[in-house]
Chain A
Amino acid sequence: MLEIQNLMVFFENALALNDFSMEVKEGEIVGVIGSNSAGKTTLMNTVSGLIIDMKIKEQRKGGERITIYGEIIFNGQDITDTHPYHRVKMGLVLARERHPIFPESDVTENLKIAGHQKSKSEIKEMTQYAFTLFPALSQLRRRKAGFLSGGEQQMLSIGMALVTKPTLLLLDEPLLGLSPMMQTMLVQAIQNLRKESGITIFITEQFARPILPMIDRGYVIENGMLALTGTGAELMDNPEIKAAYFGI
């Protein structure tokens, strides 16, 4: 479904992603595990196309020069130079890290804004689905998003990505800043999401422990380079992963 070939991203002279190749197949949950500054968010921004916007803005401001090499293929189509809004229409949707919601609007309004491309009935249907997936959210329909807790904001952020009816959902650090209990709950919700709607899911995360059991395949990224790959179970048994991420 998604194929990344020899991706290289430079931020001025710093190499953020170095010759990174990976693949996401239809119906899978794929995880990319890496510590801070490994290049996870850069990877997500490149796949979702946000980096193209960043590149143009920086260029005109005379700031950091962003250079991208490599190919991103989505459903057999080369989308390396496609703008982010086209990618969303193609079904490639990113829920960005640090819960980027609209703090001045309430929960339903947030979902409506996110689904602006879709018809009214579709928005209604997907909003309803988001509320069944995250029952905690449905109690807070009229609450201003800025007053939600971190976990609720994260649920809303995933819900906003869902409203656009993605075929491939990108989740950038969904567990960031959540308590272990919230993490388990969210992991459960992501698994339910795949089971019920068949959406392919691609997660980057630094918490390996809750993520590894649920993913079909995983990649470990270090300093922008691919360090390890394998199924979730294989990675869990790997002694290096155990040492680096589980502290065993």
Chain B
Amino acid sequence: MKRRRERIDRGIKVRSEDIFALCSWREMLYLAFPRLLPIVGLILLSFVLSIYWQKVLLSVSVFALLAISWDILAQTGMISLGQALFFGMGAYLAGIMNHTWGLSPFITIPVATVSGGLFCTLLLLPVLRLRGIYFSMVTLILPLMLVRIVEATKIFGGTEGLSGLGALPSRWVELYTVILALLAALFGLRRLMGSDFGLVLKGINDNDRSVMSAGINIYWFKAQALFIAGSVGAFAGAYMTHVYMFVGMPVFALDYSILPIAAAVVGGTGTLAGPMLGAFILVPLSEILRGLGGLRIVFYGLFLVVFTVALPEGIFHYIARKYHQFERWVEVDT
């Protein structure tokens, strides 16, 4: 007897896609559960965790923001190897504003977010015409270049950096600022990528020449995507400056470029939620592995390799598929 595995969308999904969702609790819950999970989870998690793990949650959220910003660029067809540029730009802008003019973090963070996005866009504007590996190379080099500029010219504190910067009022404000920002970025940008604007960005990734022949200026759209991604990254940097009350050369470190990419690959690219999920797995994992000492990186790397080989689609795609579809064996008939 010939059989094959059949994959079927859950009927409930069809019924819950429209106004019909309001007809039953079960279907409303089916629809709302995946959205409520990160919201409720993040808000409650902070109460359960110890102070140490709250700090970990903080850096997890920052990496999640960077991973989301990487994913937006990747969905537009720009593979960035330099999230550290966005991060460092935001961090230095906030630090300089706070250090020289004594502005409060509540002003420096928003201003650094917008101006950081703007500066990054301007810096990368000449390379927008490059595609693929050429764009990646330039993004990889820029943060390394900026570090050397700071080191060589001794501006902005040089190698010592700027310390004693203003802090956020309390631990809880710190935590909830980044949690709210993360949720806003996740849901807002997911909606943006689903809109017509997002469709154009995805089209540029798929086939930029076809988008051009539709009469769309792809460089303008790419610049906008860069600004959005840059702002998200710059926010993370500016926020981190005020958490550490310090800004220096480490903000351009390679960690901020590589870890978001690893998170996006593990979590599943192209969804924004996937990269966030990836950051929530990888950063705590790296904390847990701290007990292993020197072998930490080995196990960490091993985990990454096993993961990318075994589940190349990423965790989020896998879970989403299992949630929306079920499988069964059916007989083959002609």
Interface residues of A (CB under 8 A from B): 8, 10, 12-13, 18-19, 60-63, 65, 67, 69
B interface residues, how many (CB within 8 angstroms): 13
Q: Are A65 and B5 in contact (CB under 8 A)?
A: yes
Give A63's nearest chain B residue, CB to CB. B313
Contacts A61-B313, A62-B318, A62-B321; is A8 near B334 (CB within 8 Å)?
yes
Contacts A19-B334, A69-B2; is A61 near B312 (CB within 8 Å)?
yes
- Neighbour of B6 across the interface among A13, A18, A62, CB < 8 A: A13
Please give the distance in Å from A233's CB to the nearest CB on chain B.
30
Contacts A12-B7, A13-B7; is A62 near B317 (CB within 8 Å)?
yes
Contacts A18-B334, A19-B334; is A10 near B313 (CB within 8 Å)?
no
Give B320's nearest chain A residue, CB to CB. A62
B5 proximity list for chain A (CB < 8 A)? 65, 67
Q: B4 on the interface (CB 8 Å rule)?
A: yes
Nearest 4 A/B pairs, CB to CB:
A67-B4, A19-B334, A62-B313, A61-B313
B2 proximity list for chain A (CB < 8 A)? 8, 69
Q: Are A60 and B312 in contact (CB under 8 A)?
A: yes
Known: A8-B334, A60-B313, A65-B4. 20 other contacts (CB 8 A): A8-B2, A8-B332, A10-B4, A10-B332, A13-B6, A13-B7, A13-B8, A18-B334, A19-B334, A61-B312, A61-B313, A62-B313, A62-B317, A62-B318, A65-B7, A67-B4, A67-B332, A69-B2, A69-B4, A69-B332
Q: Interface code B1-17, partner A: CB below 8 Å = 1, 0 otherwise?
A: 01011111000000000
A67 proximity list for chain B (CB < 8 A)? 4-5, 332
Please give the distance in Å from A180's CB to the nearest CB on chain B.
27
Please give the distance in Å from A81's CB to the nearest CB on chain B.
16
A65 proximity list for chain B (CB < 8 A)? 4-5, 7
Q: Interface code B32-54, partner A: CB below 8 Å = 1, 0 otherwise?
A: 00000000000000000000000
Give B310's nearest chain A residue, CB to CB. A60
Please give the distance in Å from B223's CB to the nearest CB on chain A.
29
Report Cα–Cα, A69/B8, bound state, in Å: 21
Q: Interface code B305-334, partner A: CB below 8 Å = 1, 0 otherwise?
A: 000000011000110010000000000101
A8 proximity list for chain B (CB < 8 A)? 2, 332, 334
Report Cα–Cα, A12/B334, bound state, in Å: 15
Q: Please list 15 pairs of residues, one from A and one from B, whose beta carbons are closer than 8 Å in the complex, sorted by A's number.
A: A8-B2, A8-B332, A10-B4, A12-B7, A13-B7, A13-B8, A61-B312, A62-B317, A62-B318, A62-B321, A65-B4, A65-B7, A67-B5, A67-B332, A69-B2
A61 proximity list for chain B (CB < 8 A)? 312-313
A69 proximity list for chain B (CB < 8 A)? 2, 4, 332
Report Cα–Cα, A67/B5, bound state, in Å: 8
Please give the distance in Å from B48's CB to the nearest CB on chain A.
33
Report Cα–Cα, A62/B322, bound state, in Å: 10
Give B2's nearest chain A residue, CB to CB. A69
Please give the distance in Å from A138's CB to the nearest CB on chain B.
32
B318 proximity list for chain A (CB < 8 A)? 62
Report Cα–Cα, A69/B334, bound state, in Å: 11
Report Cα–Cα, A61/B312, bound state, in Å: 6
Report Cα–Cα, A63/B317, bound state, in Å: 10
Give B6's nearest chain A residue, CB to CB. A13
Report Cα–Cα, A69/B332, bound state, in Å: 9
B321 proximity list for chain A (CB < 8 A)? 62
Give B318's nearest chain A residue, CB to CB. A62
Please give the distance in Å from B2's CB to the nearest CB on chain A.
5
B6 proximity list for chain A (CB < 8 A)? 13
